[in-house]
């Protein structure tokens, strides 16, 4: 069985790491470089850098910040925010990213997934899917969760897989920042409907939540921010806990 991954996430705006609840009420969570250095010294499997206001502000992710982070970490780095063309993806890769995360632009233009994948490989394309529950359906949102779309999560996940995405980052807007646990219902539905890896995101508040994301949610990786940024737990603690519960991890 493949090892499950633990991935800290740097949500970035205004040159700082931030964390909110349900994509709102952002609070400062430290220096971008300090957090990157910290996670480089931990046992993080990967690092995600998301410029959360780039699409909202119709601008590009700051390449200088990406370059600084890539110079600090020796693990796979995924960068997202405002990536709306193959050329922009190329710039991100040239500044040290291993993968790009795309959301808003590919909802508008799904073929962009295929174009990036054809040039850089499916393994380099992560499609971020931000979902909010409406009655009994989980609907996809863009622009950092501010704009709803008519797309349903499972259908969209299957479509992005067909278009060449190598991985899905599934975030529950309802759970984001609440520390109440992942939405394992939609996580399991998406994970079992595709054959590419799915990263659980939104709601991790303790180590049991990570375990449930892997067992109940069928995720391949667990992304978390608050519990690691504010040093509630270390990644080593998380991995030891998971290993003790029978989850294969790299230690």
Rounded Cα distance between 67 and 81, Å, is: 15
Catalytic residue among 51, 130, 176, 220: 130
Rounded Cα distance between 15 and 49, Å, is: 12
Q: Has 98 been annotated as catalytic?
A: no
The token pair that represents 105 in the structure block: 């632009």
Rounded Cα distance between 163 and 201, Å, is: 22
Catalytic residue among 11, 45, 176, 183: 11
What does residue 194 show for φ and ψ, rounded to 5 degrees?
A: -130, 165
**76 vs 8, 139, 178, CA distance in Å?**
12, 29, 27
The token pair that represents 11 in the structure block: 């949500």
Rounded Cα distance between 61 and 53, Å, is: 9
Q: Where are the beta strands (DSSP E) in 71-117?
A: 77-80, 99-102
The token pair that represents 19 in the structure block: 């964390």
Q: Has 130 been annotated as catalytic?
A: yes
Q: Give me the helices (H) in 74-124, please.
A: 86-94, 104-108, 111-120
- With both helix axes pointing from N to C terminus, report the angle between 153-163 and 184-193 in degrees, rounded to the nearest 10: 30
Q: Which of 215, 193, 202, 184 is nearest to 7 (CA)?
A: 202
Residues involved in catalysis: 11, 130
């Amino acid at each position: 069985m493949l090892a499950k991954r633990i991935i800290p996430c740097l949500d970035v705006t205004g040159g700082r790491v931030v964390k909110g609840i349900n994509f709102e009420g952002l609070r400062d969570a430290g220096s971008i470089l300090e957090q990157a250095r910290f996670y480089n010294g931990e046992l993080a499997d990967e690092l995600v850098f998301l410029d959360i206001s780039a699409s909202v502000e119709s601008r590009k992710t700051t390449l200088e910040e990406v370059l600084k982070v890539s110079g600090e970490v020796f693990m796979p780095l995924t960068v997202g925010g405002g990536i709306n063309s193959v050329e922009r993806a190329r710039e991100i890769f040239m500044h040290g990213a291993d993968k790009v995360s795309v959301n808003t632009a590919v909802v508008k233009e799904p073929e962009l997934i295929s174009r990036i994948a054809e040039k850089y490989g499916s393994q380099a394309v992560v499609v971020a899917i931000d979902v909010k529950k409406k009655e009994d359906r989980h609907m996809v949102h863009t622009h950092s969760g501010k704009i709803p779309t008519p797309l349903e999560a499972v259908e969209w996940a299957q479509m992005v897989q067909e278009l060449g995405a190598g991985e899905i980052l599934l975030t529950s807007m309802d759970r984001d920042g609440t520390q109440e646990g992942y939405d394992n219902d939609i996580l399991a539905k998406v994970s079992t409907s595709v054959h590419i890896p799915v990263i659980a995101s939104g709601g991790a508040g303790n180590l049991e939540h990570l375990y449930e994301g892997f067992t109940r949610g069928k995720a391949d990786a667990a992304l978390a921010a608050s519990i690691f940024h504010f040093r509630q737990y270390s990644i080593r603690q998380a991995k030891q806990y998971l290993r003790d519960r029978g989850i294969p991890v790299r230690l």
